[in-house]
Chains A and B, each alone.
Chain A
């Protein structure tokens, strides 16, 4: 019956359906995404996203409105349109179509060049950025503040400050992403990549790996605390565990539940890991039989994490 109705009287259903889709679209912004940015880089990405969406409308709306409109107007039974079976070419229409499409392309192409040059992740976002070295691993992240400190799964940054990350990985390829501060860059074993961003106001958010890398992928995330400059200085002075302890444990453990703050490693440790990832970990084991002890540990870690997220009311 419903099908029959829709087929006979499409207009009655089209409008509410369209409005529902639009509502879904517009409300598509919440917690940990680019639509609620906390720094200028992510804010730039959001504005590019919105501007591109709007620039696509002039060429898309004629199609989105025209398709249902023409379908109704020229339907064989009950349509009002004129019939012209041999009309198949029009210089004016060709010019408008090719011209409109090309013009849209020129605009978005031009904008793209500006966007990409303006937000090159390799270009520092300000004077004297803080350097943080990043090592992604299965399924944990090590951050090195050169000569000051090393942390696991915890990234602390001062507010309104440019930061430059040097990124590498061990094991599988990963993608380093803090959506509310900046878009992602791959972390790859044997390769070094860079990402620059400027922090915003103080906040507690999280970043994660977005490239699937095996059994504990859902746990592959880290805390990001943006703090005041004083808090940041105090953070660097906090008591630390010895580096040797981190080095030994990082190699063995799949997921991390131990202490977070450590003495810094030797000066060029990050560079050595980039050249030879196996000095940081054994490369983990992405595929584990369901009944292996390591898989049991991961299952336990997953359940622990879920328990924690429930205690926090689900907020990350």
Chain B
């Protein structure tokens, strides 16, 4: 066997098009071309600007939790663009005259990559990034408990995403949807490398996510500021803790199931094949044992975001803190008890279906309570509709509709009539677009100054909100309707003319969403261009309530000059109520922060090359990479010179400088919150 395994010329993206030029192969070649040219253009741009060196030394090798978080979000943003574009192509395919311009296989690759990307390479990195930036600042920590492992998690996720991107250029992706049920994904029915792309990109990112979960949980357990007991923790830290626990326990079944599938495909095992004692029902079982807690991994951090954005922009204390904490814990526990509702139609007994259906409905109780809590937080407030607040309010309204259809689907007899239909597709988009994306968009708009020191442009932010909101309704309400009219999901084309007008509306919705995404790109561009007038160096640009707003923007590398003593749930509100705008320092001491290192990127790079080798059956290269990966980890283990010290004196200077800045910055009224007068320190009434 050749050292290049099963790789051959036909796997290169342009070759199938040259052999047989059709619109379908042309689109595939075009997409591959965009990836290659895009990568080249970025490389060229960095070279011309001379940014390689600063990029490497300040970002790629950084172990600073804020920078790692930002890089996670950049990854999510790049993949989000691809995911939305794929959705637009699929919508276009379904409104063009049947059989459309894509082959059935090509369409299948699109819905499979769309799902895989949106869950694993948009949602997961997005929330992991936001947690990374914000959570340590909220609990008074200077970094994650394991900064090196944090970087490993990031680069493993990047490696997984790189493999999905590589599938556009070399070979094919999987065609069995993001769930990849065997036996369809077995070696017999899917003999090409597509399923292996799915398996190994997920293997990389799921290991990364498990490590992230451990990191978040330990950070919260060990690094809280003195006095901050669990019931004084901000809600976002609570939702992070529950998400982290879910990550630790839920990613494992996915990793194991996908590795078992790999053994089935390449080592002649029969875990999931119909013959020799295998059973594909086990795959569905294990996949959803991961898959359902995953839904709450995705949604809990967004719940945390709303619990901060809504009080801040309502100028009011969060309603029902204790209620929210217990609701979060309840959701986390119950999320492990409902996974069978993803396959009510598999023929198990009625009792089993009924019990899992009812268990599913129990989750509706704490979730419903949460939405009421946010509503009561707004009640008797003074609401300011910033972009972040708009996304939060849009979430509350839209999410309730998804909740109604969710409880409907939880009834097994209704599920029989709507499973595998576009009704189901509409439902989960109705949960995840508001419940995850809107939350993350709100988080970025709200906490952006912490990372970069300036606010985001409000005008383009609000435009993006309305486009996303209207686009969502136009794109998915029609799918509810035609789902009830019997339209199955994953269909390359429909011949029933009754669906056509609905599909046209959905197409318009998809374009609207694309315009929303474009507005966000413009928003970033405009904000960077006007950053001088958007700067908020004194921090706290929204009359914030959490500990993170006691810091100057951007937050310095060491986060806190001194670790504050916590005596209440909202120490920053108390400080401001006492007429102060800097928290009293405690004790200045020397601190140690990890030095930047290129090892995480190397470890993950080698792991990614190894995974690519496994996809194309280059066993020798894979083995070499596996050994190299562990050698690199060993090298790190023997490295004793990995810390740098920031002296107490430097910290004191940092504190004094911030204090002087705060004292000289004029206090601004909330009326000027979204104007260039806002240099931080916004207050209800100007002093």
Contact = CB atoms under 8 A, between A and B. Distances in A.
B227 interface: no
Contact of A101 (B369, B377, B384): B369
B375 A217 contact: no
Given A70-B379, A109-B361, A278-B275, A217 B477 contact: no
Interface string B308-324: 00000011111111010
Interface stretch (A154-162, A258-266, A283-291): A283-291
A241 B220 CA distance: 72
B416 A45 contact: yes
A208 B364 contact: no
B417 A190 contact: no
Interface in A65-120: 66-68, 70-71, 74-76, 79, 81-90, 93-94, 97-98, 101-102, 104-105, 108-109, 111-113, 115-117, 119-120
A236 interface: no
Contacts of B463: 3
B400 A64 contact: yes
Contacts of B373: 97
A35 interface: yes
Interface stretch (B56-64, B144-152, B483-491): B483-491
A314 B191 CA distance: 36
B382 A76 contact: yes
B358 A112 contact: yes
Interface in B155-197: 175-177, 181, 183-184, 188-192, 194
A34 B380 contact: no
A218 interface: yes
Interface in B374-395: 375-385, 393
B481 A28 contact: yes
B175 A45 contact: no
A104 to B, nearest CB: 8
B258 to A, nearest CB: 17
Contacts of B488: 177, 208, 210
Give the dominant DSSP class at A's interface: mixed
B221 interface: no
A305 B495 contact: yes
Contact of A173 (B19, B181, B365, B400): B181
Interface in B74-116: 98-99, 103-105, 108
A287 B175 contact: yes
A87 B316 contact: yes
B16 A290 contact: yes
A183 B416 contact: yes
B38 interface: no
Contacts of A108: 361, 407, 411
Contacts, number: 355
B393 A71 contact: yes
A113 B319 contact: no
Interface in B403-451: 403-404, 407-408, 410-421
Interface in A267-316: 276-278, 283-288, 290-291, 298-299, 302-303, 305-306, 309, 314-316
Nearest to B20: A291
A214 B413 CA distance: 27
A237 interface: no
B491 A218 contact: yes
Nearest to A110: B358
Contact of A29 (B98, B358, B485): B485
B349 A94 contact: no
Nearest to A66: B375
13 contacts: A32-B496, A44-B413, A71-B385, A74-B382, A101-B364, A105-B364, A112-B354, A117-B350, A117-B354, A119-B413, A214-B104, A277-B275, A306-B98
Interface of A: 3, 6-7, 17, 21, 24-25, 27-35, 42, 44-46, 48-49, 52-53, 56-57, 59-60, 62-64, 66-68, 70-71, 74-76, 79, 81-90, 93-94, 97-98, 101-102, 104-105, 108-109, 111-113, 115-117, 119-123, 171-173, 175, 177, 179-180, 182-186, 188-191, 193-194, 208, 210-218, 276-278, 283-288, 290-291, 298-299, 302-303, 305-306, 309, 314-316
Enumerate the 4 nearest inter-chain pairs by beta-carbon distance, A residue then B residue, closest first. A183-B416, A28-B481, A190-B274, A193-B347
